[in-house]
Amino acid sequence: MELVELISSIEPADAEWEKSAWERLRSQIRPRDSLGQLEVIAARVASICRSLKADLSRKIIFTMAGDHGVAEEGVSAYPQEVTAQMVYSFVQGWATINVLAKHGGIDVRVVDMGVKADLPKEWNVIVKKIRKGTENFTKGPAMTREEAVRGLITGAELVINAVKQEKYGLIGTGDMGIANTTASAAIFSALCEISPSQVAGRGTGISDDMLRKKIAVIEEAIKLNRPNPSDPIDVLYKVGGCEIAGLAGAVLGAAFMKVPVVCDGFIATAGALVAIRLAPAAKDYLFISHRSQEKGHSVMIDAIGIRPILDLEMRLGEGTGAALAMPIVEAAAKVLRDVKTFDEAGVSKG
């Protein structure tokens, strides 16, 4: 599928289905509006799925992995080889994302979008490598425009195939990549024309000196590459990452297939922001799982305008926030579908 075709095919969610959902929710056997944001989520699911009986029981998280050349600037507390090591932990089932996803009845697929190392076949990773890590964007663009587009299409196709062929009804996005908070902050800074100092945070837990260096690195990259805020792909290829392209594509794919997508924290939300800038209607299909502790995430959330489902002071990534929030989205759909109305239950309204 061509990217232009994908974007042009994304339709807004259906307002009439949302209206019908609210009518049912407010007729159910409980005090009006008593479930608060759970009802908001339920109504949004109805508008996305065009149904009052959406089945979100088949859930999957795509954890996209990629390396970043800017890591050589000393912006992370961990060396670059940790990306591949954590991917190994994911496929072995040892990591936090595995535990939380299993708890929520969610499948996890790990995708190599741009890990620098060649991962062994026996690791059972989905290899969609765009390139072996990005370039150091303080010296030029992180990748080519063509590579960024390929990353977007790859992420979209993964979701489209999962929905079409495996009947998944709820998609989650997560990430792994040393220095990807630097790339995500650069994307947000460029797209929203906001100072890097307002959005760059401590990522893996860097010191004050490293944080100052990180901010300076982003400022340098934006000054050198001059990403165009009115062209999301220009921003993505100049200061982004392969896995962020995949994350953005996943949101586009979910919107194309008319299924809800729950993004994780700072990096996944940066990908979602790129998707929304490419296809504004994609926002209708997006849920933000949680408010990350990463400094710029709240600013990013405000820019997108979607209330996060949770606020647990997390900042891990991997898809962990999505793993916790996806069962809540599923629960909201079940409330809409299964709680009887006063008329159905034969209960007096008083």
- For 302-318, how does the pLDDT look when each residue is reduced to its tens digit (9 = 90+)? 999 999 999 999 999 99
Q: Which residues pair with 63 in a beta bridge?
A: 110, 174
**Whole-angstrom Cα distance, residue 39 to residue 52?**
12
212-244 burial, b if ≥16 CB within 10 A, otherwise e?
ebbbbbbbbbbeebebeeeebbbbbbbbbbbbb
Q: How confident is the model at residue 188, as a pLDDT?
A: 97
Say whether pLDDT at 120 is over 80: yes
* 188 and 289 housed in the same domain: yes
| Same domain? 174 vs 90 | yes
What is the pLDDT at residue 103?
Answer: 98
Q: What percent of the chain has pLDDT over 90?
A: 97
- What average pLDDT does this structure show over 192-200? 96
pTM over cut 0.85: yes
Give the DSSP letter of residue 310. Answer: B
* C-alpha–C-alpha distance, residues 92 and 86, integer Å: 10
The answer to whether 344 touches 280, Cβ cutoff 8 Å, is no
- For residue 261, count CB atoms less than 10 angstroms from its CB and return exposed for 0-12, middle for 13-18, buried for 19 or more: buried
Say if residue 286 is in the same domain as residue 138: yes
- Answer whether residue 12 is part of any domain: yes
Q: Is residue 110 part of a domain?
A: yes
Q: What confidence tens digit (pLDDT) does each residue in 34-51 have?
A: 999 999 999 999 999 999
Residue 350 has pLDDT above 70, yes or no: no
- Tally of domains within the chain: 2
* Residue 48 is assigned to a structural domain of this protein: yes
Mean pLDDT of the residues in the chain: 97
pLDDT > 80? residue 135: yes
The type of residue at 161 is: N
Q: Which of 18, 39, 243, 318 is catalytic?
A: 318
Indicate if 2 belongs to the active site. no
In-domain check, residue 31:
yes
pLDDT band per the 50, 70, 90 thresholds, residue 348: confident
**CATH code of the domain in which 42 resides:** 1.10.1610.10
Q: Please indicate, yes or no, if residue 303 is contained in any of the structural domains.
A: yes
Please indicate, yes or no, whether residues 66 and 42 belong to a single structural domain of this protein.
no
Q: How far apart are CA 328 and CA 128, in angstroms?
A: 30
Tens-place pLDDT, residues 197-241: 999 999 888 999 999 999 999 999 999 999 999 999 999 999 999
Do 45 and 150 lie in one domain? The reply is no
- Assign 152 a pLDDT band (cuts: 50, 70, 90): very high
241 φ, ψ (degrees, to nearest 5):
-150, 160
Do 172 and 300 lie in one domain? The reply is yes
Residues 184 and 209 occupy one common structural domain: yes
Whether residue 350 lies inside any domain: the answer is no
User: Do 136 and 38 share a domain, yes or no?
Assistant: no
Task: Provide the residue range defining the domain that includes 28.
Answer: 3-53+336-345
pLDDT digits (tens, 9 = 90+) for 165-186: 999 999 999 999 999 999 999 9
Over residues 255-281, the mean pLDDT reads: 98
Q: Are residues 49 and 63 in the same domain?
A: no
Cβ atoms of 286 and 261 within 8 Å: the answer is yes
The per-residue pLDDT for 131 is: 98
What pLDDT was estimated at residue 1?
82
Q: What is the CATH number of the domain that holds 94?
A: 3.40.50.10210
| pLDDT given at position 316 | 96
130 and 11 in a common domain: no
State whether 236 and 291 are in the same domain: yes
